[in-house]
């Protein structure tokens, strides 16, 4: 099942967990040095190995997408679901997406490295999610020779990924910390400790919908288990700080916050036009209501599905046709109304 239709541990704060492993083929230059023909050769080798892995698993037929065959709507939808990065779409030559059944596990081919294997899980589930992607990497390594050093570990295009090649991250909903004005101070503290705090869309983005990403930055000289253990402890600490900030926010003026959340829910339930920015702001408030255990709030899985499913790409993909901005706002409002009414 797709991760955002599930409810995971610590989901009052932690929306999702993502683990990514960077791997490169032995005796082949990194993608940025390859010609289009060489990129296609790498893509074909990785795709062939992937087909063998999925066949041996006895799984359903895998999804294999060559990015240069996608239209703008499909590309935008994949980026909004955070399956691929927007940067990957700037030059799609020789790049592909290999998806295991469902949308939670896959491989990005010829992004920054030859392979970026990833797995996403609902809530805080670092070790479970890491187990999935580590197994995928091991299955691929039985069929492909990866570039690695006895001294350094796995070799990657960016030196900051060398070693384990692991980037572990968690997406958190932190309206309490944002309203308390402590995010910049928290980010500075985490940077000094070897972690990164970014907005929901990654490096350089804002805390869209009051969401942030926490991830490790050190991959060399540490084990995968140590990366996961340290990040798990950190996420628990930040989650507890967020819960305290929410309680303080609520206790400061309960009627005012309940009124703000109730007005947000009412607008989502009855609006006929809704921009992405307004929808994300209002959905964040309703999620805060759910987190504060206010009555008659939608489920976490409904809110997660809406966070993922109201962007212009996903909306147009679902409609099966291009929509102008006005029609997108109308369709977005309709989808939100129907989802909330069926969930409460």
Which residue in this structure is represented by tokens 């990005």? 108
Which residue in this structure is represented by tokens 């408030």? 285
Q: Would you give the DSSP letter of residue 202?
A: B
Closest CA to 329 of 271, 287, 282: 271
Q: Judge residue 101's burial from the number of C-beta atoms within 10 Å of its C-beta, 0-12 exposed, 13-18 middle, 19 or more buried.
A: middle
67 with 88: CB under 8 angstroms?
yes
232 with 239: CB under 8 angstroms?
no
Closest CA to 28 of 96, 114, 111: 114
Residues 6+ apart with CB under 8 A from 223: 164
Residues 6+ apart with CB under 8 A from 226: none
Distances (CA, A) of 213 to 70, 229, 262: 28, 17, 27
What are residue 169's DSSP bridge partners? Answer: 18, 215
pTM of the full structure: 0.92
| DSSP letter string, 25-85 | BTTS--GGG--HHHHHHHHHHHHHHHHHHHHHHT-SPPEEEEGGG--HHHHHHHHHTTSS-
Mean pLDDT by 10 residues, the chain (344 residues): 83 95 96 95 96 83 89 90 85 91 89 96 95 95 96 94 95 96 91 87 65 92 94 96 96 97 98 96 97 94 92 94 96 96 85
**Domain 3-244 = CATH 3.30.310.80:** no
pLDDT at 209: 86
Q: Distance between CA atoms of 51 and 35, rounded to whole angstroms?
A: 24
Closest CA to 116 of 142, 85, 150: 85
56-58-59 Cα angle (round to 5): 115
Residues 6+ apart with CB under 8 A from 35: none
Phi then psi dihedrals of residue 68, to 5 deg: -75, -5
pLDDT at 230: 95
Domain boundaries, the chain: 3-244, 253-343
Question: Which two structure tokens, joined as six digits, stand for 67?
Answer: 């990015």
Q: Dump pLDDT digits (tens) for 193-222.
A: 899 998 865 555 566 789 999 999 988 889
pLDDT at 227: 95
Residues 6+ apart with CB under 8 A from 323: 312, 315, 316, 331
**Range 77-99 burial, b when 16+ CB lie within 10 A, else e:** bbbbbbbbbeebbeebbbbbbbb
pLDDT at 56: 86
Which residue in this structure is represented by tokens 């492909």? 144
pLDDT at 207: 63
pLDDT at 205: 53
242 with 176: CB under 8 angstroms?
yes
pLDDT at 2: 79
Q: Distance between CA atoms of 238 and 49, rounded to whole angstroms?
A: 40
């Amino acid at each position: 099942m797709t991760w955002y239709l599930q409810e995971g541990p610590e989901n009052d704060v932690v929306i999702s967990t993502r683990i990514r492993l960077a791997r490169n083929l032995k005796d082949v230059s990194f993608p940025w040095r390859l010609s289009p023909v060489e990129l296609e050769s790498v893509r074909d080798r990785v795709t062939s190995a992937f087909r063998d892995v999925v066949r041996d698993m006895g799984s359903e037929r895998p999804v294999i997408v060559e990015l240069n065959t996608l239209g703008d709507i499909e590309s935008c939808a994949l980026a909004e679901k955070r399956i691929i990065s927007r940067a990957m779409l700037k030059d799609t030559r020789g790049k592909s997406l290999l998806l295991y059944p469902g949308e939670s596990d896959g491989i990005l081919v010829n992004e920054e490295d030859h392979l970026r294997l990833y797995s996403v899980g609902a809530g805080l589930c670092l070790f479970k999610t890491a187990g999935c992607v580590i197994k995928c990497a091991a299955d691929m390594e039985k069929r492909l020779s990866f570039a690695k050093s006895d001294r350094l570990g796995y070799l990657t295009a960016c030196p900051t990924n060398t070693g384990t090649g692991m980037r572990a991250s968690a997406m958190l909903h932190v309206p309490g910390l944002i309203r308390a004005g402590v995010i910049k101070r928290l980010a500075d503290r985490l940077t000094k400790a070897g972690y990164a705090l970014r907005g929901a869309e990654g490096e350089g983005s804002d805390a869209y919908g009051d969401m942030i990403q926490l991830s490790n930055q050190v991959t060399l000289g540490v084990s995968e288990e140590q990366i996961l253990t340290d990040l798990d402890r950190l996420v628990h600490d930040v989650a507890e700080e967020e819960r305290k900030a929410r309680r303080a926010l609520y206790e400061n003026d309960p009627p005012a916050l309940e009124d703000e959340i109730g007005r947000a829910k009412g607008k989502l339930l009855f609006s006929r036009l809704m921009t992405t920015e307004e929808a994300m702001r209002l959905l964040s408030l309703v999620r805060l209501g759910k987190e504060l255990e206010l009555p008659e709030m939608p489920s976490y899985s409904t809110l997660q599905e809406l966070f993922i499913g109201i962007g212009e790409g996903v909306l147009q993909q679902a409609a099966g046709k291009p929509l102008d901005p006005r029609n997108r706002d109308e369709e977005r409002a309709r989808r939100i109304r129907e989802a909330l009414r069926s969930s409460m």
